[in-house]
Amino acid sequence: MSVLYPRLLPGEADRLFEELHEHSPGSHTHMVSNHSPRSVFAATGGRRVTREELDDLRRTIVSAAEEQGFPEPPTPAQRNAFDQRTARILHEQSLMVPGEAAQRPVWAFLALVLLPDICVWRWPLKSGRGYSADRFKGLDLTRHSLGRLWTRAHVLYDPRSPEPYELVDTLGEEAADQIMTRRRSVAATPALVRAVVRGHRDERALNEVGMSERDVLRQSLMRLLRLLAFVGVDSIPENELDHLVRRVRAETRNALRGR
């Protein structure tokens, strides 16, 4: 049975987001709770998550943050390691189905009620600009501090692999963002996303002087986008998608050599 999560009402999400700015860095633990009187559940579709389960989820994610130095400011490598570990935790432990995970108020609750201190640590204040609403209120789930991680794990999860979450650990934040934000094209087909990530992983050893992984990934994605205008990939077997991605990456490398 799927699990339903509290959905924070929009006005309360706005209020709590403003409250983030009233606390100094490191003091947001005072905002933590496992419930909110200004949240609701979906009427049907599964059973409601218990407060004990929310506490367990929080403990596991806090532990992942502590492994990366929380509450001290994280390095880029620590942020990346936290994201990879937390993506797996959210996907494995939350027991959400895609329909529930697509609800922005669910992620607003998790970021602003259950885990505000962790999300502030991961996405700290920007000088002169405050906290980013996208990271906390769920305005865009491809940018939400936690929602984007569940989506990443769900798309990259491969039950055929001995380690089903292996592909989650392949991508750094920049590479994952390059792929997952193209949600209406490349990211719309999970099998294609997995093929792209496998190609990125398997060809790292081929990197040449003057040719960065970032350039190969970015340029190959642009080529795939043009190809997707003419080719429907939803019905293509995954092994053939692997061949397609490798061919596009080879063409990209040849083009970059000739620049």
Other C-beta atoms closer than 10 Å to the C-beta of 190 total: 15
Q: With 70 as the cut, is the pLDDT of residue 102 above it?
A: yes
- Please report, for residues 74, 115, 139, 169, the alpha-carbon distance to residue 120 in angstroms, rounded to integers and kept in the order given: 11, 9, 17, 23
Q: What pLDDT was estimated at residue 29?
A: 95
Q: What is the pLDDT of residues 201-225, one digit of tens each?
A: 887 756 655 567 888 888 998 998 8
Question: Rounded CA gap, 52 and 49, in Å?
Answer: 8
Which conformational region is residue 243 in: left (phi greater than 0), alpha (psi within -120 to 50 degrees), or beta? alpha
> Bigger pLDDT: 119 or 169?
119
Q: What is the pLDDT of residues 110-132, one digit of tens each?
A: 999 999 999 999 999 887 789 99
Q: What pLDDT was estimated at residue 208?
A: 56
Q: Which two tokens stand for residue 177?
A: 């963002």
Q: With 60 as the cut, is the pLDDT of residue 174 above it?
A: yes
Query: For the packed helices 238-257 and 213-228, what is the interaxial angle rounded to 10 degrees?
Result: 120
- H-run or E-run covering 191: helix 190-202
**In the 8-state DSSP scheme, what is residue 4?**
E
Question: Rounded CA gap, 174 and 80, in Å?
Answer: 10
